[in-house]
A = this chain, B = another copy of it.
């Protein structure tokens, strides 16, 4: 496709949706990407840029002048413009802001003043707010009369004279109501207000829970300052849920467009931490090398005990991290959850331990070894179940992201305890 024929490329790209153009740019290998961008330069607008993946976008933005970036940003809603500008370096950011017209600049600067990943960064300032005493007819005339309004919205917000939201009104309700009815009689008073400094993960959970399409964002004094729409939240829901899987595995952002050195650095850091825990577990083994020398079979069996513990702990950990991420674990049911895992781990420990012991007895004909294996499997299963649930919950209480840190602690626990239980018991009972 990319063999120099600029016109043909342009014709192919012409009818595509911005999201598809963005995908096309991402899929093109790095060296051909520049040529593609040069060829379709004038079809790349703000929409396309805001759909691009972070790494690819940064590359593209770096190649543009501040004025070009500013003109793209001006086309977009505040939230999308902020998303483009917030990742830039500070000097470039200032240059772009200077190139914007004063209104847009003020809006974007205000958004940048809110913490990263907060509702304030996510919201757009373009919204429709009307006073409570208007009638449906007034609203219709206002909407038809104001040329400079943004064109896409799903709800209008009704505010009091202090600009505090008092209700919200789906457009479908307005459409179905005669002009003379007061908007105060059409709106719904119960609404989900989003504080401007709320974390985006929490915003996403509220949208999900209450099936919202858009929601009013209010500042600390309760004034309406912006609106968040579901299409921005959908990205967050998917990212946050997908992030946990990558964090648990220590793969960082796991972005396949991230430059190689940066990916290697992230992954290696994680592996180095895990190397520490692996060496710790190996130390436990080295401590018992006398016992292993007497009975080499232990070196094979110990990997099964620690491996099964690791698997059981991973299950429990995944369930706990997921429950924490979706706000399903509250103080009232934490104990219930721990007790659940306690019983699950005992049941699994006895069943798998028995199976292993039976196999060991049939293979090695060593009753003492089989009994010790049975006991070690049960001990490590309980250890795995409790570590898998208590470590993420404990980290969460300490306000540390359990998805990032749990795995290291949990695998250390199951590896060390797996080796220690089997080799320790074997030494204690002098099995050989």
Contacts and interface: CB of A to CB of B under 8 A. Distances in A.
Nearest to A244: B245
Interface in A120-142: 139-140
Interface stretch (A88-96, A97-105, A106-114, A147-155): A147-155
Contacts of A348: 264, 267-268, 271
Interface in A205-247: 207-213, 230-231, 233-235, 237-238, 241-242, 244-246
B250 A234 contact: no
Contact of A352 (B245, B250, B271, B359): B271
A292 B286 CA distance: 13
Given A175-B143, A237-B237, A289-B299, A246 B318 contact: yes
Within the oligomer, what is the number of copies of this chain? Answer: 2
Interface string A282-302: 110110010011001101111
A183 to B, nearest CB: 13
A365 interface: no
A401 to B, nearest CB: 14
A27 B330 contact: yes
Interface in A134-176: 139-140, 143-144, 149, 151-154, 170-176
Contact of A297 (B170, B289, B316, B343): B289
A118 interface: no
A250 B311 contact: yes
A242 B326 CA distance: 9
Interface residue tally on A, bucketed by range = 35 or more
Contacts of A299: 285, 289, 292, 296, 299, 302
A246 B336 CA distance: 20
A62 B212 CA distance: 30
B175 A175 contact: yes
A65 to B, nearest CB: 28
A27 to B, nearest CB: 5
A29 B336 contact: yes
A391 to B, nearest CB: 15
B278 A303 contact: yes
Contacts of A337: 256
A84 interface: no
Given A152-B170, A268-B347, A271-B352, A297 B286 contact: yes
A260 B343 contact: yes
A308 interface: yes
A216 B151 CA distance: 21
A315 interface: yes
A25 to B, nearest CB: 12
Contacts of A316: 251
A5 interface: no
A60 interface: no
B285 A300 contact: yes
B208 A256 contact: no
A316 B245 CA distance: 11
A317 interface: yes
A274 B308 contact: yes
Closest 4 pairs (CB-CB, A-B) = A241-B241, A211-B231, A249-B318, A171-B171
Interface of A: 17, 19, 23, 26-27, 29, 139-140, 143-144, 149, 151-154, 170-178, 190, 207-213, 230-231, 233-235, 237-238, 241-242, 244-246, 248-251, 254, 256, 260, 263-264, 267-268, 270-272, 274-275, 278-279, 281-283, 285-286, 289, 292-293, 296-297, 299-304, 306-308, 311-312, 314-319, 321-323, 325-326, 328-330, 332-333, 336-337, 340, 343-344, 347-348, 351-352, 355-356, 359, 415, 419
Given A238-B241, A271-B315, 18 more contacts: A27-B332, A143-B176, A208-B238, A230-B231, A237-B238, A237-B241, A242-B326, A245-B318, A246-B318, A246-B319, A246-B322, A256-B319, A263-B344, A271-B312, A279-B304, A289-B296, A289-B300, A303-B419
